[in-house]
Amino acid sequence: MVVPALVVLLPLLGVAPDQTAHVAVGTSLATIIFTSIRSTQSHAKRAAVDFDVLRSWAVWVVIGTALGTLVAGYVSGAQLALIFGIGVFIFAIYFLLPERKGTPLFAAMPTGLPRVGMAGTLGAFSALLGIGGGTLTTLTMTVCGAPIHRAIGTAAGMGAIIAIPGTIGFMLIGLGESGLPWGSIGFVNLPAAVAIVITSVIFAPLGVAAAHRLPPAVLRRVFGAYLIVVGATMIAKF
């Protein structure tokens, strides 16, 4: 998640307070296009990506992403930041709670109308939060019985499916906005995105390797603690 860092840095580039959250989310989605592809390749080498889930969820996730982007165009920067902070806190609580032992909450990934609803919701909230669906996909797959490492690997693939339409959407809803920093197309700042991508592509394989070395229980706690910090940063900022 690069949104909190961008929220801190973008005002230094002259971005207006009410535009900061939108530019942060839009730029974050742009970076996820490239970093998720790189990360998916690394996870796939470890057989930790469920491509059947990606194929069956893709259409509904894209539709949800488009709807989430439209909603983002009608909320203020402070409201968008608050949505981000609250959403991340909810995810953090799940990962910090003791892991459910025995039978998973659901026996398998949903199909039919439940899949349509969950995939659409995943896309919509991911677009609003600028997170590429990683947290939501991981959460969904783990409650459906998938191992945490396979859930994280599949979530990386979901990132590109969400980030491409999400980036285009934030470009479009930001067209015509005044006061945006140099190099911006709508609410996506290309120089910032390129800088983040270069750094992330280099270090993404290291992150994947570290994640696979950690025991699942430890990985859950680390992820949950990270989300608490991210959510608190966003809420405190606005």
pLDDT over 90 at 84, yes or no: no
What's the pLDDT score for residue 67?
Answer: 94
The band of 191, judged by pLDDT with boundaries at 50, 70 and 90, is very high
pLDDT at 7: 82
Residues 6 or more apart whose CB falls under 8 angstroms from that of 23 comprise 6, 10, 15, 174, 180, 181, 184, 187, 188, 189
Residue 78 has pLDDT above 90, yes or no: no
The dihedral of CA 238, 136, 138, 170: what is its sign? negative
pLDDT digits (tens, 9 = 90+) for 108-148: 788 889 899 989 999 998 888 777 777 778 878 888 888 88
The structure's pTM equals 0.80
* Cα pseudo-dihedral 80, 84, 86, 92, rounded to 10: 180
Q: Which residue has the higher pLDDT, 24 or 103?
A: 24
Highest mean pLDDT among 83-87, 125-129, 137-141, 186-190: 186-190
Confidence of residue 238 (pLDDT cuts 50, 70, 90): low
Task: Report which of residues 47 and 14 the model is more confident about.
Answer: 47
User: With bands split at pLDDT 50, 70 and 90, how would you rate the model's confidence at 171?
Assistant: very high
Residue with more model confidence, 204 or 123: 123
- 223 pLDDT band, cuts 50/70/90, is confident
